Amino acid sequence: QVQLVESGGGLVQAGDSLRLSCAASVQTINIWRLGWFRQAPGKERAFVADITSSTGITNYANSVKGRFTISRDNAKNTVYLQMNSLQPEDTAVYYCAARLVPTRPYQAWGQGTQVTVSS
């Protein structure tokens, strides 16, 4: 079973940057796709970005495109989310997730890390 542990959240001001990390308990090269999701208070969990481990191909939600960058380091079994130009609407709990194979949905989730952006 894949274990995921997020870190890097915190309280920042609008316009600041943060980098989230997600360490996997298995080799990320063996995980088909890794993603970041977020859940704001009173809202459903929403897709933020994902990356295919083997190719590095990325996808982003429109709301973060151009501001956030997802990357992975397969040597460290870690996926990152670089968040720039943060806005109050980015405030949420951010979750890392693993999709092991293309035929299955996201199966493993981290515990989440809080990101709070003040105006």
When pLDDT is averaged across residues 5-32 and rounded to a whole number, the result is 95
Residue 29 predicted with pLDDT over 90: no
Residue 11 predicted with pLDDT over 90: yes
Q: Quickly state the pLDDT bin for 71 (edges 50, 70, 90).
A: very high
Tell me what the pLDDT averaged over the chain comes to. Answer: 96
Residue 1 predicted with pLDDT over 90: no
When pLDDT is averaged across residues 38-46 and rounded to a whole number, the result is 97
When pLDDT is averaged across residues 84-111 and rounded to a whole number, the result is 96
Q: Quickly state the pLDDT bin for 81 (edges 50, 70, 90).
A: very high
When pLDDT is averaged across residues 35-51 and rounded to a whole number, the result is 97
Residues 6+ apart with CB under 8 A from 117: 11, 12, 13, 14, 16, 86, 87, 88, 89, 90, 91
When pLDDT is averaged across residues 20-36 and rounded to a whole number, the result is 94
Structural contact between residues 73 and 27, judged by C-beta atoms closer than 8 angstroms: no
